[in-house]
Structure 1
Amino acid sequence: MGFVTTRKVRFEHCDPAGIVFYPRYFEMLNACIEDWFEDRLGHSFGAIHVEGGHAVPTARCEVRFTAPSRIGDPLALTLRARRLGRSSLDLSIDVASGAEPRLHADFTLVHVSQSSGRAVAWPEPLRAAIIRELEEEAPHGT
């Protein structure tokens, strides 16, 4: 099923032609990831980045745009956990308006120490929460 959050395309997201200017999608995608960490994993970016001394930067992002979005369009962003490594995490996000797909994005995030800038293992409580998400996404019977 995945984690679903919604956004409405606003004037601020659009270029003069009235369609979403592609960098604004990246802001929406990042907000979706941030919401997922807080709402589903129970670990806010504030707790991770400010209080915890770690960071979760994007190491890879690949996006396929399939249709434009316009002012007023309701968008559903569906995030799914795909793979968990020692310090990395692969996610996918599908964006649609109603039944019409607008884009698909694949991300790799890396858990790093802010002081060293190096990848470090996910802390066990966060790792356990991500594993629960992966298990929810796994096809039944595997």
Structure 2
Amino acid sequence: MAFTAVRPLRFGDCDPSGIAYFPSYLHLLVGVMEEFFDSIGAPWPVMMGERRISVPTVRLDITFSHPGVHGDVLDFALGVRRVGKSSLDLIHRITCGGTLLWSAEQRIVATDTDTHRARPWPDDMRAAFEQHLESTNV
């Protein structure tokens, strides 16, 4: 089951020609990830503040297929490909009007916020991730 979110591509997300500036895409992606964690009952302020779990990205492979332009409405689909002991492999597809703009494969790792060392996912988070496992690509 994919998690979905919608984001407009705003003027500040684009270069002077009106085409999406790729670092803005990453900023939007992080916001979608934060909403995904919130949807599974692991809001980042609680996860990072109280539970002391951080989720740095250790791998990100992006393929750009079609330019996005100012005013586009982006449809984000996030799926879980694999749940490891402390890692989580995510897949992302970002479309506009049914056209694939870009896709990404991402690995994040649960780390202790204080030591910055990998730590196992808590059981409740692992169970929630497994609810979103994709049998095929998003």
Deviating 4+ runs (over 2 angstroms): none
SS of 1:127's equivalent in the other structure is helix
Cα displacement string for residues 51-98 of structure 1 (whole angstroms, at most 9, x for unaligned residues):
211201111101000111111101100001000000000001100001
Structure 2 unmatched ranges of 5 or more: none
Query: Following the alignment from structure 2 to structure 1, what is the Cα–Cα distance between the partners of residues 99 and 59?
Result: 25
Q: CA deviation at 1:50?
A: 1.3
Query: Following the alignment from structure 1 to structure 2, what is the Cα–Cα distance between the partners of residues 12 and 51?
Result: 33
Question: What TM-score comes out, normalization by structure 2 length?
Answer: 0.95
Query: Following the alignment from structure 1 to structure 2, what is the Cα–Cα distance between the partners of residues 68 and 132?
Result: 32
SS of 2:103's equivalent in the other structure is strand
Query: Following the alignment from structure 2 to structure 1, what is the Cα–Cα distance between the partners of residues 58 and 126?
Result: 18
SS of 1:61's equivalent in the other structure is strand
2:10 corresponding residue in structure 1 = 10
1:83 corresponding residue in structure 2 = 82
Question: What TM-score comes out, normalization by structure 1 length?
Answer: 0.92
Q: CA RMSD in A?
A: 1.0
Q: CA deviation at 1:138?
A: 2.8
1:124 corresponding residue in structure 2 = 123
Say how many residue pairs are matched.
136
- 1:58 corresponds to 2:45: no
1:34 corresponding residue in structure 2 = 34
SS of 1:133's equivalent in the other structure is coil
SS of 2:30's equivalent in the other structure is helix
Structure 1 unmatched ranges of 5 or more: none
